[in-house]
Structure 1
Amino acid sequence: MNEQHYDAWPIGMRTFSRLSVTVKGRPVTVAASASGEGAGDELVVLLHGLGCTRESWDAVVPAVDHRRRWLAIDLPGHGQSAPLPPRQADAIGFHAAVVVELVRQLAPDRVHLVSHSMGTAVALAAAPDLPGGAFITVEGNLVARDCGLISRRIATQSRGTFIRSGFARMRDDLIASPDADARFWGSTWFACADPASIWASAASLVAWCDSGALAERWSRLTDRTYIWGEHTGPPGHLGHLLDGVRVEQIAGVGHFAMIGNPIGLQQAVMRAMAPDGQAST
């Protein structure tokens, strides 16, 4: 049976833990933040994007939620979590398996998945093996075009080249960017990631997007919300994939809504999870 090992202390309204699971015969330890016990058996799992960390969600989590528990993790190779296993061929699938095992240990009746960017691919890969709940994506990867310049730029480099020089070059480019969100991302989150894990995650993400598998999984879901930033612009490239989907715009932000308008994002997430569409706790 998988075990959880806790080394916890309070961080405001949150706790920090190191959680251990076994995935495909390998022990995996990830860093996690949790908030709220919740009155029921609903769990909110927060999944960050490529080169980000669980802290990206800190300002989005409500101080009090009587209905739900919240859990944000550093995916393998990100933040304070251990790197991916060497030469991991399907990093997205591995990340998803970690999420599934963690949720199985917590044994909630219902799981809401809230994801950003690459985290949406992880959530879609994990969703079929989790108790159903709301699926909420913040500008998540669904199709090939969503890979944009970052993940595809990484994936087109060889693994060795990216580890030797590509990672540092991309970090420096982000830090020097005229965009404030990119500078924050590069200096605060991306800089602490494991280069090999970033390359494997990007390569796997591009493969999943290009194959059409993510769009297909997205179309099977029933309770879906797509959130986009005003500065990014409407997600018109998704076309019919947004038919019948709740779509919300977060004012005054681009790709990183959790940086520029965390309260607006929090309210949108809470509305998406509430049965009556109201942002209640």
Structure 2
Amino acid sequence: MNQNGIISKVIVNYKGKFFEISTKFRNGNDELIMFIHGLGCSKNSFEHVWDSSEFENYSLLTFDLVGYGDSSKPMDFSYDMEEQAELCNLLLNQFQYDKIHIVAHSMGGAIGLLLAERIKDRLASFISVEGNLIGDDCGIVSRKTVGYSFEEFQNKLFDKLIMSSRLSEDLSSKLWGEMLAKCNSSAFYKSAQSLVEWSDSNKLLSLFIDLKVNKKYIYGDKNSQMDVLKMLKDIERISISSSGHFIMSDNPYEFYKKLYNIM
């Protein structure tokens, strides 16, 4: 147990199979904020929220998607965005809150939008943190991954990704490398395939634009030239200074302060 949250494993039954999902949870007010991490990441992406004074009275849930962190890592799971969304839905069903706020980063944005379809009656807000919406959102890593066969990726690329990130002088890259080291290579590869497919379809952008709840798009100021920013119509865009894609670790103080102000 951490003084800022209880770490535990939650068991969900999906299609007759049991999955362990590693969670960190704190019960506060009657509305739950669910944080969904990105490709190769884990619940540690949002670790700074537990030290944020703005959210000390909120109910918070961070967790490792199946295949990532300390959750189950089955080799025979599809790791499709839709199936991950359904596992998130089953996880949420074990937390009895009538109002859910989703904060979703990168790949988590795609999963979160598909989850939003499943919890329409309970969804209070959706905050996309550079969440995948269009094909251009699939950066070098996910597109490069799907350019290999799984065997080639596993033998030639995966360990190099981990090592190069861990050796980086950039703190956010180091953090990603540490999280990636706990990721199942099959989960990463299949997730990248599904993510590229969904992003290229432009269906995610439509889902985000059509959401009938409070919604915002948060991005790092180093990525202010992204094409997606021009495609969000009247959706509010919020820039976080001195940050790139890993906004929550690049500038956690500003990120969580602004997040609190828009919830």
TM-score by shorter chain over 0.5: yes
- How far the C-alpha of 1:197 sits from its partner, in A, is 0.6
Q: Which residue of 1 aligns with 2:70?
A: 80
The alignment's C-alpha RMSD in Å is: 1.8
Q: Which residue of 2 aligns with 1:203?
A: 193
Does residue 228 of structure 1 match 2:228?
no
Post-superposition, which runs of at least 4 consecutive aligned residues in structure 1 deviate over 4 A? 63-67
Q: Which residue of 2 aligns with 1:252?
A: 242
Q: How do 1:265-276 residues align onto structure 2 when only pairs under 5 Å count?
A: 265-273=255-263
Deviation by residue 1:139-167 (Cα, 9 ceiling, x = unmatched): 11100000010111111211122223321
Q: Which residue of 2 aligns with 1:92?
A: 81
Deviation by residue 1:75-113 (Cα, 9 ceiling, x = unmatched): 01111011145151x521121111101112213111100
Please, which of 11, 18, 25 is the counterpart of residue 27 of structure 1?
Answer: 18
- How far the C-alpha of 1:174 sits from its partner, in A, is 2.4
Q: Which residue of 1 aligns with 2:208?
A: 218
Q: Which moved more, 1:143-152 or 1:262-271?
A: 262-271
| TM-score normalized with structure 1 length | 0.86
Does residue 162 of structure 1 match 2:180?
no
Q: How do 1:1-281 residues align onto structure 2 when only pairs under 5 Å count?
A: 10-35=1-26, 37-40=27-30, 42-61=31-50, 62-63=52-53, 65=55, 68-86=58-76, 88=78, 91-130=80-119, 131-177=122-168, 179-186=170-177, 188-222=178-212, 223-240=214-231, 242-273=232-263
Taking a change above 3 Å as real, the CA distance of residues 271 and 64 of structure 1, as seen in their structure-2 partners, is closer
> Percent of aligned pairs with the same residue?
29
User: Secondary structure of 2:84's match?
Assistant: helix
How many pairs align?
Answer: 259
Q: Which moved more, 1:115-124 or 1:21-30?
A: 21-30
User: Secondary structure of 2:65's match?
Assistant: coil
Q: Gapped runs of 5+ residues in structure 1?
A: 1-9, 274-281
| TM-score normalized with structure 2 length | 0.92
Amino acid at match of 1:79: G
User: Secondary structure of 1:185's match?
Assistant: helix
The separation in 1 between residues aligned to 2:151 and 2:184, in whole angstroms, is: 13
- How far the C-alpha of 1:173 sits from its partner, in A, is 2.9
- How far the C-alpha of 1:22 sits from its partner, in A, is 1.2
Taking a change above 3 Å as real, the CA distance of residues 87 and 252 of structure 1, as seen in their structure-2 partners, is same
User: Secondary structure of 1:201's match?
Assistant: helix
The separation in 1 between residues aligned to 2:222 and 2:54, in whole angstroms, is: 30
The separation in 2 between residues aligned to 1:133 and 1:105, in whole angstroms, is: 18
User: Secondary structure of 2:32's match?
Assistant: strand
- How far the C-alpha of 1:65 sits from its partner, in A, is 4.2
The separation in 2 between residues aligned to 1:124 and 1:80, in whole angstroms, is: 24
- How far the C-alpha of 1:56 sits from its partner, in A, is 1.2
- How far the C-alpha of 1:215 sits from its partner, in A, is 1.1
The separation in 1 between residues aligned to 2:201 and 2:185, in whole angstroms, is: 24
Conserved in 2, the CA contact under 8 Å of 1:48 and 1:115?
yes
Q: Gapped runs of 5+ residues in structure 2?
A: none
The separation in 1 between residues aligned to 2:173 and 2:57, in whole angstroms, is: 34
- How far the C-alpha of 1:67 sits from its partner, in A, is 5.7
User: Secondary structure of 1:16's match?
Assistant: strand
Q: Which residue of 2 aligns with 1:6?
A: none
Taking a change above 3 Å as real, the CA distance of residues 120 and 84 of structure 1, as seen in their structure-2 partners, is farther
Deviation by residue 1:16-42 (Cα, 9 ceiling, x = unmatched): 01001112332111100012x2232x1
The separation in 2 between residues aligned to 1:265 and 1:64, in whole angstroms, is: 11
